[in-house]
Amino acid sequence: MSGRSVNRPTIVALGAGVLCAAAVVALGIAGEPVMPSYLGAWLFLLALPLGALPILMGCELLDVPETALTVMLRRLAAVMPLAAVLALPVLFRLGSLYPSLSAVKAGLPGWWMTDTGFVLRTVLFLAVWTALSSVFSRPDTGRLGGARRPVLAGLGLGLHLVMGTLAAFDWAQEVEPSFMSSAFGLLLISAQCSVAVSTAVLMAVVGRPEAEASHALSSGRRDLVATEHVATALAVLLGAWGFMVFTQYLVVWSANLPKEVVWYQHRSAGIGLLAEYCAGILCALALVALLPRAPARHAGVVAWVAAALLVMHGFEMLWLVTPAFRSAFTLTPADIAAVAAAAGLGIGGALLFGDRAGTGRVGHGAT
């Protein structure tokens, strides 16, 4: 890691992640059903690199200069191998998480939605994303040539949209296969991007000052997020995610689709309805705080908004999958510990593994 010692934020994040992961294991040994919690937490961890990758590839196409935000997004992209390895418990417990895969089906679903097909697709998706992360977790050093890297970014973006949509159907929608929504993949992709940018903002605030100095980005860590670009990026991603959530709900409500209505009923039961209202209020307040020239739009507020959005999306991943196993949205100790473990391991891993991110430009022609 370039001879650098591990700093305090990295140790704290990894330590908290390991302790929370140990708590999940202990709850599992005690007989608690922890796999639904694990699935939601894994989707949350996976959102860190998968949300960073499309933004970085888009910056490659636009030849965006390196900034504090892209430096931290590269660190998040470097977590992809860890997220891929942590898919193993999901693959080993397909029967309990996705019982519909073992049901007899005719036609295309007969070979597509099977245990073997699910595993092969998962391995393929994770392998491609890991390969892309190995490229875009580093700035352009000229190894791929000035013209080839933007081409790879364009192809990668197209692949990401296709694979992200299919993976969302497999990993999150298949827990309750009666629910079908063509917007589900884009909804999850937009949530992943929001997770990645929110995390990158927090890492820029509490991350390593030497990385910021080496890029001549700012003289103070809090100044890193006091830019219109970062606040606007958060606002745009939050708006896109909110639009996808509302569109999906509007289609189900207006068409009165019975199976899809049941999906929403499961997620509104328990504390689900309260959580939905809280998320709506949070989004409205966040958008107001992130408006251009808003009085509160400065580094501290942007960082707090990012933290709130990160917590919201963490519980959103649980909201998407755990009600399929409980017929209601509830929060168990395993849920909270699993999401906290994912956040700690993801952020700690990004700070630890992301040291390989260098200087230069995001696009071609980097120096």
Is 321 part of a structural domain of the chain? yes
- The pLDDT score that the predictor gives to residue 358 is 46
Asked, for residue 1, whether it belongs to a domain, the answer is no
Residue 363 placed within a domain: no
State the pLDDT at residue 333.
96
- How open is the CA angle 308-313-314, to the nearest 5 degrees? 95
When mean pLDDT is compared across 205-219, 308-322, 348-362, the lowest value belongs to 205-219
The predicted pLDDT at position 338 comes to 97
Q: How many structural domains does the chain have?
A: 1
Average pLDDT of the chain to the nearest whole number: 84
User: 19-23, 177-181, 361-365: which range is least confident on average?
Assistant: 361-365
pTM: 0.88
Query: Residue 95 domain-assigned?
Result: yes
User: Is residue 365 domain-resident?
Assistant: no
**Is residue 167 in some structural domain?**
yes
DSSP string, 305-361: HHHHHHHHHHHHHHHHHTHHHHSSB---HHHHHHHHHHHHHHHHHHHHHGGG--SSB
Is 311 domain-assigned? yes
Q: Tokens for 341, please give them.
A: 């473990």
| Cα separation, 292 vs 56, whole angstroms | 24
121-154: per-residue pLDDT in tens? 999 999 999 999 999 988 876 665 556 888 899 9
Q: What is the pLDDT of residue 230?
A: 81
What DSSP designation does 291 have?
Answer: S
Provide the residue range defining the domain that includes 345: 8-356
Gyration radius (Cα) of the chain, Å? 20
User: What local confidence, expressed as pLDDT, does residue 180 receive?
Assistant: 86
Q: Which two tokens stand for residue 257?
A: 């689709």
pLDDT of residue 66: 80
Quick check: is 351 in a domain? yes
How far is 24 from 338, CA to CA, in rounded Å? Answer: 6
pLDDT tens profile 85-100: 999 999 999 989 998 8
